């Protein structure tokens, strides 16, 4: 194996590892959701996430909060925490495979939002792939059938809101430091998530607190692993391995919750993943996804 092959293999392994971690995070959320409300779980996710960035906040001092776009920071945080609420609600109510598959719709919404709000040019190939991806979503959620419920709507809304966050972060990164973006996000989401959590509060056990700390740690760890993947290898080599999250979601769902995805979920997932992979490859060719050494 040559040097490029070794780098691509390393990147693939990092991306698979991130898929294991993110899928485990969702499994923990689902387990906690058997007693605790998703609003409360999201609150502790925000608090533990803030604890991770707190050292950067303390080191940066008050200068970290100097920005000419405070409103955009707040909007980004509120949209992000709303997406978190929706995603966690979906995970606690849907089979892990369904919730994970629907989350892959983020690139589809990102195409629509980038064309609308960032003025990006989108050719017929990506529009066609986006349309095909939404067909896959429809196959998974099956609107109008007894299988369809509000949790599917929440999952789709969560994917849409996270796609909005991607657009907002792109706008912020033009003028703001990453530490400033992280600091505002951690503080605003912790405060905002405390309000709905108050109305559904159940005092967590020590074991539940430990699991929620694991959620915060796994979120940071999974993001770090994904970043390592993109820095180690070409984006075209690692993007497909992000979809191993569905494999691990199926595995965790079967092992811990006796969930077996039906043929509609598998068929819709295949369509959705194929479409989003094509969109990813188009963006790689256009230079919109990072290659080796990218962030």
The mean pLDDT of 49-71, rounded to a whole number, is 78
pTM of the model: 0.86
Q: Check pLDDT > 80 for residue 15.
A: yes
pLDDT at 294: 38
The mean pLDDT of 2-26, rounded to a whole number, is 87
Mean pLDDT of the chain: 86
pLDDT at 231: 82
- Give per-residue pLDDT as tens, 247-282: 999 999 999 999 999 999 999 999 999 988 888 777
pLDDT at 221: 86
Q: Check pLDDT > 60 for residue 36.
A: yes
pLDDT at 121: 73
Confidence band of 288 (pLDDT split at 50, 70, 90): low
pLDDT at 249: 94
Instruction: Give DSSP secondary structure letters for the chain.
Output: --HHHHHHHHHHHHHHHHHHHHHHHHHHHHHHTTTS-HHHHHHHHHHHHHHHHHHHHHHHGGGGG--S-HHHHHHHHHHHHHHHHHHHHHHHHS-HHHHHHHHTTHHHHHHHHHHHHS-----HHHHHHHHHHHHHHHHHH-TTSTT--HHHHHHHHHHHHHHHHHHHHHHHHTTS-HHHHHHHHHHHHHHHHHHHHHHT--PPPHHHHHHHHHHHHHHHHHHHHHHHHHHHS-HHHHGGGGGHHHHHHHHHHHHHH-----HHHHHHHHHHHHHHHHHHHHHHHTT-S--TT--
Confidence band of 199 (pLDDT split at 50, 70, 90): very high
Confidence band of 174 (pLDDT split at 50, 70, 90): confident
Looking at per-residue confidence, does 167 or 42 come out higher? 42
């Amino acid at each position: 194996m040559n040097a490029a092959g070794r780098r691509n293999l390393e990147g693939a392994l990092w991306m698979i590892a991130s898929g294991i971690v993110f899928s485990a995070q969702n499994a923990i959320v689902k387990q906690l959701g058997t007693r605790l409300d998703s609003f409360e779980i999201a609150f502790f996710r925000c608090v533990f996430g803030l604890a991770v960035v707190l050292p950067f906040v303390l080191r940066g001092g008050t200068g970290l909060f100097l920005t000419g776009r405070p409103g955009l920071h707040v909007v980004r945080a509120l949209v992000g925490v709303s997406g978190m609420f929706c995603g966690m609600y979906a995970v606690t109510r849907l089979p892990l495979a369904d919730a994970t598959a629907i989350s892959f719709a983020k690139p589809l919404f990102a195409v629509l939002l980038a064309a609308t709000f960032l003025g990006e040019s989108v050719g017929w190939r990506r529009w066609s792939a986006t349309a095909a991806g939404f067909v896959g979503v429809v196959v998974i959620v099956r609107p109008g059938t007894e299988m369809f419920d509000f949790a599917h709507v929440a999952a789709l809304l969560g994917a849409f809101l996270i796609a909005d966050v991607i657009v907002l972060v792109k706008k912020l990164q033009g003028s703001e430091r990453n530490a400033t973006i992280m600091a505002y996000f951690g503080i605003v989401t912790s405060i905002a998530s405390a309000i709905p959590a108050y109305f559904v509060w159940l005092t967590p056990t020590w074991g539940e607190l430990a699991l929620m700390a694991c959620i915060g740690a796994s979120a940071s760890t999974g993001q770090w692993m994904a970043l390592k993947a993109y820095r180690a290898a070409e984006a075209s080599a690692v993007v497909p391995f992000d979809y191993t999250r569905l494999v691990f979601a199926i595995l965790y769902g079967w092992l811990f919750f006796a969930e077996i995805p039906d043929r509609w979920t598998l068929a819709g997932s295949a369509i959705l993943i194929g479409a989003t992979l094509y969109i990813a490859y188009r963006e790689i060719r256009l230079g919109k996804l990072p290659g080796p050494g990218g962030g």
